Amino acid sequence: MLNRQKNMDILTTSNNLQKAVAWIGETMSQQPDKQRAKVIAAAELRFDLTLAECEFLHRHFRQTDH
């Protein structure tokens, strides 16, 4: 439960992270064939994210293989 609260704190307090999440979602919907890892890496640089914010993205946008 504590981890979940920490995640929510990061997401709600970071404007850059919020913008990155929105940008990743928009980019992936417009270009579904694009590699998710590359989109995340681009977002990290584009929005100048901290290490904690980058870790958040990797945890929550990790692609699962089916």
Model pLDDT for residues 3-44, shown as the tens digit of each residue: 555 555 555 568 999 999 999 999 999 999 999 999 999 999
Question: Phi and psi for 19 in degrees, rounded to 5?
Answer: -65, -40
What's the domain range around 16?
A: 2-60
66: in domain: no
d(CA 38, CA 28): 11
65: in domain: no
For residues 20 and 49, is the Cβ–Cβ distance under 8 A?
yes
Q: Is the pTM of this model over 0.95?
A: no
> What three-state secondary structure class fits 58?
helix
pLDDT at 61: 82
Total structural domains within the chain: 1
CA angle at 34 for the pair 54 and 21, rounded to the nearest 5°: 35
Q: Which residue in this structure is represented by tokens 């704190």?
A: 9
Mean pLDDT of 39-65: 88
pLDDT at 62: 76
pLDDT at 2: 45
6: in domain: yes
